[in-house]
Structure 1
């Protein structure tokens, strides 16, 4: 908890006013025209302010703020970037009173399981209260990143009008707004450099937001809108790209076809990151017309290192990207249902590749080629074409083993499959000891090692034992309490743990809560853990950002006892049906620490104990 305590300490020291904070605190002064040397304390304060300006890591700054009350005040006065991992952990008023020179804010709302429809959509995480506070206090705000927040068009309009220096807006997994709000940002934020929309739900208000960017040369460096599910004015987009000479990142939605992509690439050969849109034709080429030379367009983009998109791919066009494959460090095929045969001619030239996202349609055969060609691979994600529990998956332990043998620099993996073995996971733990993130999702419930029929305990045990840098772990398959005892014994650096359909008894969770001192985020679904397991973490919950449990064996009384024992912990019980008020039965427990106590905007399907 020290990290968030440092960001939002309850130590109520005095805050310097903005006018006094604008001066160096150790500046020389004169009395009656005579020079007066600053005191030793003033000199030390000035030195401290200048030293703190060099601290960029928020963890370093948090640690510095805990040294003393004077360091706490100095750190607050020099912090320009603010990260808040839970919008309900602290009030906007407390933030703006303590930190007065903030220029960049990152704010997170709903927990991650909201991405999987495990939380009612109207749960909360409204941006409006935060925006109102920032509008009064942070007139110099330049950057804003929101994740899983509820953002309205009115919020975007207020933002566009309130911050004259605003330059960067990043919205990730947000909802509540539409193209009307985007139009306000485009038209009013004259210095806009970054507009990134990633996995957002954007309503189609039938507003031509692309046309709202000011005429003349723009400052745009990044424009990402691949999640916007409505047509755009392509002619306006083409003009915008043409007059954005600093544009480096462009990710298009599925309404941009490959012919239009060609026209944009001709105008912007300086691109380093490109999301291709649909990568398929949507217009019939007139008889006798010759299709553009897509290969030459890609070849002209010599700076291109990151390629994504391919949302409605036509495989006949894939050879167009061959010229850039040797230079790519990131390739995202997670929307492209391509086979191993189609992947191989591309991937065999990707010797610089560090990040690869694919669908399991590439099969184990495709992963073998990845392992042979991509020796510098750091991150791999393999998503399922069919995410049903009884669906057919085309990758298995064979593909995982190949990756572990060929990509020994791997640091992060997310792997969906239906069949796995302990031997393959153990091999990965030995071949890839630098793993920081290991997420193995065996989609069928309680599936054992498909060769030995044994639980997957030894595989996951080897991961936490041999991968000394591991901070994030997701477990699945048939697991007994032994697997959780391994996690508690060896997972001393694990900060995020996700558990699905696993465990024997309350002892499993007790091993984790008593053995993982760095644990910050714990997500559990459909597992047999009950009140006894929940109570075993009383000593640690104040040190965690949150605990999420859904479809487990908890009782309302057990949750109430936690709330009584830990008054600064917010304990929410949530009904999965957002129309019904909670009674004795509930589906979800969500607990998080907060300096402010229970929130005031809880809907009726949420009861705060």
Structure 2
């Protein structure tokens, strides 16, 4: 070991033991042998003490490969594991590798973004809970999985249930309020209970009443966008009175005017979501409320303005506020940092956002029906936003008439941007030349945003050339997750793109006119890739060309072809989480 160099990676702004931050601004590669630090066995004691303070998962994975001793230290000190696809790890193998976990996050089937996921994906929670039941797991986060009432009963009566503090079953299905009743009766230490977006069979509202009677430690309760409607305001008030640390409440539909008693009792509440408001004159919000999401808020925009200066986060996706309402509200939110809204904000709304909300960190503009029926966000709004909100780190935007100049402006001013999702849509008001490319704009954007880690680009009636696709690979070297839609790329363009994307870990391509043979050859060369989803490629010989993509320990899921009006069109779903599959195979061999 002493003869071969060992490298350790140091990240920027990593906290040390004294709580201070390092001042280095770039990731450094250090050869320990060159600076006089030995990696022989006699120095293992020092590294045994250092390894537990390494929190980055990639650094942890690298450390565990150095030698058996370091692998063992990583195993007994690892406290949290995230599994992006439940089929890539076996529960027993995971806990043999990391026996002392106290936090686990697992995702089931992929997000059904375009209605392509169908049938039984077999993302059952049961085998995981059987393995977890006898362990002191304090935090469980399951997404898009199938949960039965018997599973929740098992969890509630197990060792894990007695110490469980965080339970998230977001976008799950298969269970009822009877299963929730088992949880709230037995898991007395719950601080967070989230079932957002889940489809739940609602027998009654007894689970919420029991939660109000038994729990005194709750901090976050979230059943937003679920199918639960049998909610009594009195139970919410009782939760607020019994749980002195309640800071977040996200519920289903009910009139806010019925929650005055709840608001009065929620003295430390900071976040509220889910209700509708018709008469804000009758509502007095909690003094610390700074994150708000109300449905149909367009009836009471003016009544909310007096407390708008408190808001640091607003979710207006279901508020039905028009462009004028956006402008009126945003002018009163100088401390706003996070905004989620729709294309209804328009260019004028973005201009006001740039002028009055200088502290913005995250902006998501969703595309709904109004984007196609009315004038959407254009280059005018994007340029104003880039020049005014220079602290933006996260930007999702549905726009039309977005030019190279607008993209260049993003790269020039938004230096902190780490997540960009751009969707170009077609509206009746479009005036751009559909044959023009965005090659130069994309190049300048990526050159100006070196911190970008995720980049999505969906196009409509407008595309990049092979040169533009090469620019994405060349200047997006640090991007780890890319998602593309409606791109037209040749075999040469694919080859050059993959040649430069040496750090790309996750790639999704939707309806991109790409040859399977070229894609198969290119993917083989990209060793960093962990996940690949491809839909709507040019159909060649499926078996032969897909075989080019296969590697040892890859996992492949194939969605059958579909017949369209144009004849047989092959739609492919190619899922891979290579890192975790390899990792689990190593665990099973130990």
Q: Is TM-score (shorter-chain normalized) higher than 0.5?
A: yes
Q: 1:267 aligns with which of 265, 268, 292?
A: 265
Aligned residue number for residue 454 of structure 1: 436
Q: 1:217: how far off?
A: 5.5
Greater Cα shift, 463-472 or 540-549: 540-549
Whole-Å separation in 1 of the counterparts to 2:186 and 2:305? 40
Q: Which runs of 5+ in 2 are unaligned?
A: 1-7, 9-39, 563-567, 585-590
Q: 1:596: how far off?
A: 5.6
Aligned residue number for residue 243 of structure 2: 244
Aligned residue number for residue 199 of structure 1: 197
Q: 1:591 aligns with which of 558, 576, 583?
A: 576
What TM-score results when the alignment is normalised by the length of structure 2? 0.83
Per the alignment, do residues 395 and 560 of structure 1 end up closer, same or farther by CA in structure 2, a change over 3 Å counting? closer
Whole-Å separation in 2 of the counterparts to 1:234 and 1:45? 58
Q: 1:341: how far off?
A: 1.8
Matched, 1:333 2:316: yes
Aligned residue number for residue 141 of structure 1: 137
Determine helix, strand or coil for the equivalent of 1:275: strand
Whole-Å separation in 2 of the counterparts to 1:508 and 1:150? 41
Determine helix, strand or coil for the equivalent of 2:514: coil
Q: 1:239: how far off?
A: 1.5
Aligned residue number for residue 190 of structure 1: 188
Aligned residue number for residue 91 of structure 1: 90
Aligned residue number for residue 607 of structure 1: none
Whole-Å separation in 2 of the counterparts to 1:448 and 1:472? 28
**8 Å CA contact retained: 1:386, 1:393:** no
Whole-Å separation in 2 of the counterparts to 1:182 and 1:88? 26
**8 Å CA contact retained: 1:510, 1:533:** yes
Higher relative contact order (CA 8 A, sep 6+): 1
Whole-Å separation in 2 of the counterparts to 1:553 and 1:153? 44
Aligned residue number for residue 21 of structure 2: none
Aligned residue number for residue 288 of structure 2: 303
Whole-Å separation in 2 of the counterparts to 1:344 and 1:558? 56
Matched, 1:491 2:476: yes
Per the alignment, do residues 387 and 102 of structure 1 end up closer, same or farther by CA in structure 2, a change over 3 Å counting? farther
Whole-Å separation in 1 of the counterparts to 2:49 and 2:123? 36
**8 Å CA contact retained: 1:326, 1:352:** yes
Whole-Å separation in 2 of the counterparts to 1:188 and 1:216? 9
Residues 225-236 of structure 1: pairs in structure 2 closer than 5 A: 225-231=223-229, 232-236=231-235
Greater Cα shift, 333-342 or 197-206: 197-206
Per the alignment, do residues 106 and 121 of structure 1 end up closer, same or farther by CA in structure 2, a change over 3 Å counting? same
Q: 1:349: how far off?
A: 2.5
Q: 1:426: how far off?
A: 1.4
Deviations 1:167-208 (A, max 9, x none): 101233333333232222222211110012333333334453
Matched, 1:367 2:365: no
Aligned residue number for residue 547 of structure 2: 561
Per the alignment, do residues 292 and 366 of structure 1 end up closer, same or farther by CA in structure 2, a change over 3 Å counting? closer
Aligned residue number for residue 397 of structure 1: 379
Aligned residue number for residue 392 of structure 2: 410
Alignment: residue pair count: 534
Per the alignment, do residues 551 and 194 of structure 1 end up closer, same or farther by CA in structure 2, a change over 3 Å counting? same
Aligned residue number for residue 168 of structure 2: 170
Deviations 1:116-172 (A, max 9, x none): 322115223222222222224xx2101011223232332222222221100101233
Per the alignment, do residues 451 and 273 of structure 1 end up closer, same or farther by CA in structure 2, a change over 3 Å counting? same
Per the alignment, do residues 117 and 47 of structure 1 end up closer, same or farther by CA in structure 2, a change over 3 Å counting? same
Aligned residue number for residue 37 of structure 2: none
Whole-Å separation in 2 of the counterparts to 1:269 and 1:487? 49
Residues 57-68 of structure 1: pairs in structure 2 closer than 5 A: 57-68=56-67
